[in-house]
Structure 1
Amino acid sequence: MPVTAISSPPLRVRHYLPGGRENGGGIGRLVGYILDAQQGGDQHSVIDTRGPRWSPLPSGYMLSKAVLSLMRDQAMARDTVHHIHVAGRGSTARKLVLTAAARAVGARHVLHLHDYDYRADFLSRPPQQQAAVRQMFYGADRVIVLGRRDRDTLSDLLDLDPARISVLYNCVPDPGPRCAAGRADAPLHLIFLGQLGPRKGTPDLLDALATPGMASRDWTATLAGDGPVEAFRARAAELGLAARVAMPGWLSEPDVRRLCAAADILVLPSHAEGFAMAVLEGMAQGLAVVTTAVGAHDEILAHGQSCIFVPVGDPAALAGALARLVDDAPERARLGAAARRLFLERLEIGGYVRDLAALHRGLLPAKSLKTGAA
């Protein structure tokens, strides 16, 4: 008997972000993982709205190219979903322009908020800019946030309908089971991933590593990220850490995976976050994670179960937590195993891509059904 089979055509999604996949920081890394994991013939691509920070091309030039690309898609491929990634500061200024163009031509678009404190950014703006930001979010077909805190910011502060907001926690690919063979005699290896600076807690971490309790233990550390690397190398030298702490700068995705695979503890003592990709990388690798209960971290992780939370801006407490983990291999293994189980259950990229595809398809008009026989 003939039956009607529903067939969903492949999605065509444009991601707009500063710096593109390679130079877009944590947002770029997340989008890169989405591109690598896209399924069923879906076509995700990236448009850079700013260029690398060191690029000689002005950001206005890159933004103009992005606007023209969006308008061209709307003229030639109207079923494209435009996925616009936004944070505070200059990112919001650029996305005000891009979303105004999207509204003007009727392009279906999603706003995906990545920020460590968008409430403060919004409140720092004059009333006219606040009105424009509200219009930007009101005009989106859907808004994605990293956690409940950001959802509450948009619904309470910007009066955005909560029904139009989706919470999608960041995700990373599964690197596979961890192999620790041959590492028993090596010094314990601590890693930090992220832009070096006060917001990520880099000064707190260096001060913690320099405490007598940590200095007396056998460990090495790698602090991988961009920012004022030379200044922090100099600070490490002042603290007597130069021989034990490496700062290689920003690492590629494969280099991050190799670094995590050779590590024991992931430490990120951030003062503010959305949902740190570094924490996810550590969880995926089964590392013991030491971080702070900022952003959406405590919406997923639990102190003493899947991580160790330390107070923000407290090098002494951080040093104590690290020293206890350095001394206690079974506790490191327990925390790492629990973190990896949680990652596989809730934070692996496959489920994220399926949820994202469902959200994108929900924005498109109904397609004609294809029929067949069974």
Structure 2
Amino acid sequence: MLMEAFTDGRRMAARSAASVRHYVPGGCENGGGIGRLVGYITETAKETGTKHFVTDTRGVCWSKLTSPLRLLGAILTMARDRIVAPDRIHHIHIAGRGSTSRKLILTAAARLMGCCHILHLHDYDYAGDFAQRSPRQQRLIRRMFQNADCVVALGQRDRATLTTLLGVDERRTVVAHNCVPDPGAHDIRGGQTPLIVFLGRLSERKGVTELLSALSHPVMKELQWRAVLAGDGPVEDYRRQAEAMALSGLVEMPGWLDAAEARALCARADILVLPSHAEGLAMAVLEGLSHGLAVVTTRVGAHDEVITDGETGIFVPVGDQDALAAALAKLVSDPEICIRLSVQGRAHYLNHFSMRAYMRSLESLYETVSAKPQAMVGAR
């Protein structure tokens, strides 16, 4: 895991943060990859002594009726914290589209109340989202990021977006790759039919159409394997596509799995595949490494900061169903390659992406940010 040193241009004596509140669209249960990461953080934090709280800024899904009330509730919670817990750090998780619109309001409230706040950018293409906004919105977004006490990016691509496109001082940015808990050693399943798993929303952006085409490719038809594509989205549509490709007996689509169900699935799998068109840093890739699965994915977002092609995983070109079929067929037909990637990927996870190391870096960041004096001001 890469967590770069964060300074504000002067060295200050750091003091421990009293507590942290996370603002997550959908909360831990319904916040997708962001919610899952924050859930891992809050669970691990129970061992550190720092208290972590989670506030939903959107609701289970966006609604004209309930989402504004959720956001208002989040602002009122922040105001209460400013009175009863003035040292609390407000860790605001942000993506593009509606998430940015909500966070423009929430961060304005944080500035008005003088709250110490961090922005944590999670998005598959924030630069593209930013480019589609009006000049006025772009000015507001730049101001939002520039006025945060610190901005966290998932990888170097997103850090470059922050510093070049949004004008954030490089010294106020941190790169923190996502992490996942250690599920324990993975048992090599010798002699059994290989199980291929996909974890994530079933969508075009995640490459599910190419994945189904690859699984129905002639090179895969000759081999013995099974696949489980787990995630929400238009599941019925993809089930019909699989049936039309004569994959119904080979591919299962159970819908969304919670964290425990996803761990159970990975525990009996051999290969994790995620042929995404765009990502920040997919939690599914890290889940695959942690479970000791052979990972097949695309070189998008921060994936090439996490995976070394041929050593800890396999990269395939975005949208290339033939290359994807060839990579999966290679792993299914050659157990030795699959085992080698499994062992090396698991070791890579333990060395760089453990929750313990992530939490140490996060605590250090909180201490540094909390050392900065806060004042009740309308803007900085």
Q: TM-score normalised to the size of structure 1? A: 0.94
- The one-letter code sitting in structure 1 at the alignment partner of 2:251 is V
Question: Distance between the aligned counterparts of 1:99 and 1:56, measured in 2?
Answer: 21
- Aligned mates of 1:122, 1:136 — CA distance in 2: 13
From 23, 37, 56, the counterpart of 2:44:
37
Q: Could you give the per-residue CA deviations for residues 293-313 of structure 1, whole angstroms, max 9, x where no partner exists? A: 100000121111111000000
Q: Which 5+ residue runs of structure 2 have no aligned equivalent?
A: 1-12, 374-380
Partner of 1:142: 150
1:48 maps to 2:56: yes
Distance 2:42 2:274 in 1: 26
In structure 2, what is the equivalent of residue 372 of structure 1?
none
Q: Select which of 255, 264, 267 maps to 2:273.
A: 267
Task: State yes or no: 1:252 paired with 2:258.
Answer: yes
Q: 2:239·2:253 contact (CA, 8 Å) conserved in 1?
A: yes
1:7 positional shift:
11
Give the equivalent residue in structure 2 for 1:159.
167
Deviation at 1:64, TM superposition (A): 0.5
Question: In the alignment, does 2:77 pair up with 1:69?
Answer: yes
Relative to structure 1, the CA distance from residue 73 to residue 289 in structure 2 (aligned partners, 3 Å threshold; closer, same or farther) is same
- Contact in 2 for aligned 1:87/1:113 (Cα 8 Å): yes
Partner residue in 1 for 2:244: 238
CA contact (8 A) 1:10 1:43 kept: no
SS at match of 1:350: helix
The superposition leaves residues 11-49 of structure 1 with CA deviations (integer Å, 9 ceiling, x where unpaired) of 310000110000000000000000111133110111000
CA distance in 2, matches of 1:107, 1:115: 24
SS in 2 for 1:155: helix
Residue of structure 2 in register with 1:19 after alignment: 26
The aligned residue for residue 84 of structure 1 is 92
Distance 1:16 1:217 in 2: 46
Letter of the structure 1 residue corresponding to residue 18 of structure 2: L
Matched, 1:342 2:348: yes
Structure 2 counterpart of 1:124, one-letter code:
Q
Cα deviation, residue 117, structure 1:
0.5
Q: CA deviation at 1:366?
A: 8.0
Q: Aligned match of 1:104 in 112, 115, 119? A: 112
User: Which whole-Å CA distance do the structure 2 matches of 1:262 and 1:107 have between them?
Assistant: 46
After TM superposition, give the deviation of residue 336 of structure 1 in Å.
Answer: 1.0
Across the two proteins, how many residue pairs are aligned to each other? 360
Distance 1:302 1:356 in 2: 25
Residues 146 and 167 in structure 2, CA contact (< 8 A), matched pair in contact too = no
Structure 1 residue matching 2:254: 3-state secondary structure: coil
Write the deviation string for residues 309-346 of structure 1: whole angstroms up to 9, x where unpaired: 00000101100110011011010011111111111111
Say whether the 8 Å CA contact 1:134–1:158 is kept in structure 2. yes
- 1:363 deviation in Å? 1.6
Give, as a single letter, the amino acid of the residue that structure 1 aligns with 2:233. Answer: G
Task: State the shift of 1:243 in Å.
Answer: 1.0
1:169 Cα deviation after fit:
0.2
Correspondent of 1:60 among 68, 71, 92: 68
- Equivalent of 2:230 in 224, 227, 230: 224
Amino acid at match of 1:268: L
Shift of 1:8: 5.6
Q: What 5-or-longer segments of structure 1 have no aligned partner? A: 1-5, 368-374
Q: Deviations over 1:219-263 (max 9, x none)?
A: 010001111111111111111111111111111111111111100
CA RMSD of aligned residues (A): 1.6
Task: Name the structure 2 match of 1:3.
Answer: none
Counterpart-to-counterpart distance in 2, 1:94 and 1:111: 13
CA shift at 1:146, angstroms? 0.1
TM-score between the two structures when normalised by the length of structure 2: 0.92
| Letter in structure 1 aligned against 2:166 | L
1:297 to 2:303 alignment: yes
Correspondence for 1:175 among 171, 183, 186: 183
SS at match of 1:248: strand
8 Å Cα contact 2:17-2:366 kept in structure 1: no
1:113 to 101, 104, 121: 121
Assess if the C-alpha contact under 8 Å between 2:316 and 2:323 holds in 1: yes
Matches of 2:235 and 2:298 in 1, distance apart?
23
Where 1:363 maps in the other structure, the secondary structure is helix
Residue in structure 2 matched with residue 370 of structure 1 by the alignment? none
SS in 1 for 2:227: strand
Distance in 1 separating the partners of 2:14 and 2:99: 37
Distance 1:153 1:62 in 2: 29
- Say which structure, 1 or 2, has more relative contact order (CA 8 Å, 6+ apart): 2
For residues 10 and 152 of structure 1, the distance between their equivalents in structure 2, rounded to whole angstroms, comes to: 28
Q: CA deviation at 1:86?
A: 0.2
- Secondary structure, aligned partner of 2:178: coil
Is the Cα–Cα contact under 8 Å of residues 291 and 308 in structure 1 kept in the other structure? yes
Q: Any idea what the Cα deviations from partners look like across 1:52-102, whole Å, max 9, x if unmatched?
A: 017795211101100110111012210000000000000000000000000
- Give 1:73's aligned amino acid: D
Partner of 2:214: 208
State whether structure 2 residue 334 is matched by structure 1 residue 324. Answer: no
Greater Cα shift, 230-239 or 184-193? 184-193
Deviating more after overlay: 43-52 vs 55-64: 55-64
Q: Equivalent pairs: percent with the same residue?
A: 53
